């Protein structure tokens, strides 16, 4: 599909469409048959442990890596053949920044703005990431968190239709993270499609319309953030220790009744009693354990060697 066609893609077509995506390095499969659609204007959070295949999949979508197999459309274009026009419609915030330390914040953003046909106002972008008091400061003299804000500013200066955010709030303090969340919400209101990878599950819950969990190169679940795992995964868990020291754990929709029943049987309140309503973190960790995160780490190690 050429660039002209991409511009006239139906507005209801997905921003990202993936079918059967695979990436292999010799005998090692880093991405193993992913299918996924991301709607225009959606914020999608991709979750997974280190080495799960997140970065490989994202880099393929960005056009940085070639896939082994599968079909991909990003803003109506195959990333393997995306030209400058297509790239100008993307915003990319990598895990590690590439900004020049000798330039000031404003100089760097003004330089990058010149690469795009319809860039945002430089000063507005600086203010949006909370660096208006550092606009004339050389980037080399900024703190780690402030440099991360420069990375985000560079990612949005071109007014992207699709924004890739790879661990964007690493190094942010809690106040800065919440300020960043407000910025992402404002971009979403403007219609920007956002693909976010993060290890902060609260960040995924705050920002994501939907999320996917990838482990061992496979997408093991996709859905609204608060529906991942289905209703069964959110059934309360009652844990206690029997008098003989045996740990017990039971899932039940009626935890109060179970606790009362156990107390009657033991003629006392059981030791170490707790009632847990599984959080997103609990559900995520269950998926990771079930899918075998150890294999994912092996994939990452082999990928790095390749």
pLDDT tens digits, one per residue of 77-123: 999 999 999 999 999 988 766 566 789 999 999 999 999 988 999 99
Q: Which residue has the tokens 């991709």?
A: 46
Distance CA 79, CA 170 (A): 27
Predicted local distance difference test score (pLDDT) of residue 236: 87
Predicted local distance difference test score (pLDDT) of residue 196: 94
Structure confidence by residue, pLDDT tens digits, 272-289: 888 888 888 888 888 888
Structure confidence by residue, pLDDT tens digits, 114-157: 999 889 999 999 988 889 999 999 999 998 778 888 988 999 99
Predicted local distance difference test score (pLDDT) of residue 296: 41
Structure confidence by residue, pLDDT tens digits, 174-198: 887 888 888 889 889 989 999 999 8
Given pLDDT bands bounded at 50, 70 and 90, which one contains residue 11?
low
Token digits of residue 174: 């809690």
Any idea of the CA torsion for 10, 16, 17, 18, to the nearest 10 degrees? 170
Predicted local distance difference test score (pLDDT) of residue 299: 42
Token digits of residue 245: 């020291």
User: Does the predicted TM-score (pTM) go above 0.95?
Assistant: no
Predicted local distance difference test score (pLDDT) of residue 99: 60
Could you tell me whether strands 193-197 and 162-166 are parallel, antiparallel, or unpaired per DSSP bridges? parallel
**What mean pLDDT, rounded, does the chain reach?**
85
Predicted local distance difference test score (pLDDT) of residue 113: 94
Which of 83-97, 189-203, 232-246, 285-299 is predicted with the least confidence, judged by mean pLDDT?
285-299
Given pLDDT bands bounded at 50, 70 and 90, which one contains residue 270?
confident
Radius of gyration of the chain (CA): 23
Per-residue pLDDT, averaged over 206-228, amounts to 91
């Amino acid at each position: 599909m050429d660039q002209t066609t991409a511009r006239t893609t139906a507005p209801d077509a997905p921003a990202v469409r993936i079918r059967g995506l695979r990436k292999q390095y010799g005998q090692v499969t880093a991405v193993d048959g992913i299918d996924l659609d991301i709607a225009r204007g959606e914020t999608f959070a991709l979750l997974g442990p280190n080495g799960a295949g997140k970065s490989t999949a994202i880099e393929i979508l960005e056009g940085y890596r070639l896939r082994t197999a599968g079909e991909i459309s990003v803003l109506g274009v195959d990333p393997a053949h995306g030209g400058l026009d297509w790239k100008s419609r993307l915003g990319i915030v990598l895990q590690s920044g590439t900004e020049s330390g000798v330039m000031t914040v404003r100089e760097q953003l003004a330089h990058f703005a010149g690469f795009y046909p319809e860039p945002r106002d430089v000063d507005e972008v600086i203010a949006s990431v909370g660096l208006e008091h550092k606009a004339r400061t050389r980037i080399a003299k900024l703190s780690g968190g402030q440099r991360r804000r420069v990375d985000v500013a560079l990612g949005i200066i071109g007014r992207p239709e699709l924004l890739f955010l790879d661990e964007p709030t690493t190094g942010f303090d809690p106040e800065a993270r919440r300020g960043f969340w407000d910025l992402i919400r404002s971009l979403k209101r403007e219609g920007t499609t956002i693909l976010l990878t993060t290890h902060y599950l609260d960040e995924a819950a705050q920002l994501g319309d939907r999320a996917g969990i990838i482990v061992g190169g496979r997408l093991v679940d996709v859905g609204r953030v608060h529906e991942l795992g289905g209703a069964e995964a959110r059934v309360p868990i009652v844990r206690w220790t029997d008098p003989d020291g045996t740990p017990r754990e039971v899932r039940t929709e009626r935890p109060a009744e179970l606790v009362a029943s156990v107390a009657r049987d033991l003629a006392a309140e059981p030791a170490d009693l707790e009632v847990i309503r599984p959080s997103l973190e609990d559900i995520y960790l269950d998926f990771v354990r079930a899918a075998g995160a150890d294999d994912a780490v092996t994939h990452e190690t082999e990928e790095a060697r390749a």
